[in-house]
Amino acid sequence: MADPVEGQDPADLPDPSETFTRLGTVGIEEEFFVVDETGRPKSGTDDLVYGREPPAALEDRLDHELFTFVIETQTPTTTVDEAPDELRRVREALVEHAAPDYRIAAAGLHPGARWRELDHAEKPRYRSQLERIRYPQHRNTTAGLHVHVGVDDPDRAVAVADGLRWYVPVLLALSANSPYWNGFDTGLQSARANVFEALPNAGMPSRFGDMAAFRAFERRMVASDSVRDRGELWYDVRPHTGHGTVEVRAMDAQHDPERVLAFTETVHALVVDLAERHADGETLPRLRRELLDENRWRALRYGHEASFLRRDGEGTVPLDRAVERLSDRLDLGRLPALLGASGAERQRRHHRQGVDALYESLVL
């Protein structure tokens, strides 16, 4: 899941018919924080990416994000059944790679991270973003969980991504794991989602309809210097024309690997279900952007206490009921377990014992 080449025109990429060839493959990207022995952000370190030879499990699967204390790992492309072993192998390798000088922490935002005091990565792509986007990117200390699922047809991938937008608020609410930002309690359950959506081309996307429309949009954004490459279309869900996947990017980073696997299982099941319905000729529902945005706001504000506006406009449905219906329909074994205490709730509980207890609770 490497970054695209900076400035690469989508027209120079392989034809989507060459990349969207397999349904149901899985890839997981996780963003973590590099912290010191006390669990506090370790600024200015690029040692783990550039200074040490990574273990085999991390070879070509480890990189910096915008800040040097944020690091990303990627699992190999695999099946949903093999994902648990691959995820644990990559996580264990990262913790081992960091020791003994550093530790690894996971949350949507690190509660002790004060962006003015932390160093940005020197990669040219990130320096370009900082120059162009300014304040929203300078303060972007976020860490997310991204799940890729392969789709076997370009137009089908766009239809699936369009349909997945309805489920983004449910996934975001369940993943809420970032109540603190810049050292204070925001009152939100996922402040990460709120911070990140300040970037251009982020948050809830519009409906594209088919691959021709999506590719035309990619080309126009690059040609107009709105983005340097297609990877800067940072929407909560998007077709990934390079990998031949639909990528769901809505979730906060998670501490517990079992929660990561629950999101992976759920996204995989949703993509396969929507793809099969599209292949059967079903016209997937069209959804108003305003309705989706309202539900997304409810998710990041209220987390597990969220209730969502229904498609038919008749009242609301609470998160637990939405999860129950989804689990029953798609036979999702791991999803209901996510309804326990959220990451945001756990962080606030640990914070009552002091910031040291909070920071320690985030360390893998």
136 domain-assigned: yes
Structure confidence at residue 8 (pLDDT): 54
- CB 311, CB 287: distance < 8 Å: yes
| Structure-derived torsion over alpha carbons of residues 147, 150, 154, 156, reported in degrees to the nearest 10 | -80
Structure confidence at residue 283 (pLDDT): 87
Residue tagged 């406009």 (tokens)? 313
How many angstroms separate the CA atoms of 163 and 182, rounded?
34
pLDDT in tens, 292-333: 999 999 999 999 999 999 988 789 999 999 999 999 999 999
Instruction: Write down the pTM of the prediction.
Output: 0.95
222 domain-assigned: yes
Structure confidence at residue 287 (pLDDT): 87
1 domain-assigned: no
Across the range 141-164, mean pLDDT stands at 98
Structure confidence at residue 3 (pLDDT): 47
> Residue 5: pLDDT above 50?
no
The enclosing domain of 319 has a CATH number of 3.30.590.20
Q: Which domain holds residue 273?
A: 10-361
Q: How confident is the model at residue 81 (pLDDT cuts 50, 70, 90)?
A: very high
Q: How confident is the model at residue 211 (pLDDT cuts 50, 70, 90)?
A: very high
pLDDT in tens, 88-147: 999 999 999 999 999 999 999 999 999 999 999 989 999 999 999 999 999 999 999 999
4 domain-assigned: no
pLDDT in tens, 214-229: 999 999 999 999 999 8
Query: Among the residues of 224-309, which ranges form H helices?
Result: 257-279, 289-302
- CB 170, CB 176: distance < 8 Å: no
As a whole number of Å, the CA-based R_g of the chain is 19
Structure confidence at residue 10 (pLDDT): 56
Structure confidence at residue 129 (pLDDT): 95
Give me the number of domains the chain comprises. 1
DSSP 27-70: EEEEEEEEE-TTS-B-TT--IIIIISPPPGGGTT-EEE-SBTTE
> Residue 9: pLDDT above 70?
no
> Residue 1: pLDDT above 70?
no
pLDDT in tens, 12-65: 667 898 999 999 999 999 999 999 999 999 987 888 998 889 999 999 999 999
144 domain-assigned: yes
56 domain-assigned: yes
| Structure-derived torsion over alpha carbons of residues 70, 168, 133, 121, reported in degrees to the nearest 10 | 10
142 domain-assigned: yes
Q: Count the neighbouring beta carbons within 10 Å of the beta carbon of residue 184.
A: 10
> Residue 195: pLDDT above 50?
yes
102 domain-assigned: yes
Across the range 137-165, mean pLDDT stands at 97
Structure confidence at residue 6 (pLDDT): 46
- CB 295, CB 309: distance < 8 Å: yes
pLDDT in tens, 262-303: 999 999 999 999 999 999 999 888 888 999 999 999 999 999
Residue tagged 């480890």 (tokens)? 62
